Structure 1
Amino acid sequence: MPGGLAVVVCSAWFSAPLAVPVLGAVAAAAVAVEERYRRR
């Protein structure tokens, strides 16, 4: 069981820096959708 927990913790640690660009992309998509509907 501790081995599985270590794998989960390591995966979270390595994927944490990727959250910043993902959040940026989601925010950009939300702004684009708002702009698209605003122009209609």
Structure 2
Amino acid sequence: MCKVLKIPRSTYYNSIKRKDTKIIQKKLMKNELKII
């Protein structure tokens, strides 16, 4: 089961600043994340 997480754009950018990008990019590639 794949759960799609919807995250606010600001959260996405904050996570980039916190260097969580690799996790996010993996999720984006798996289409688990939708940026709104």
TM-score using structure 2 length: 0.34
Larger Rg: 1 or 2?
A: 1
Greater percentage in helix: 1
- Quick one: higher RCO (CA 8 Å, sep 6+), 1 or 2? 2
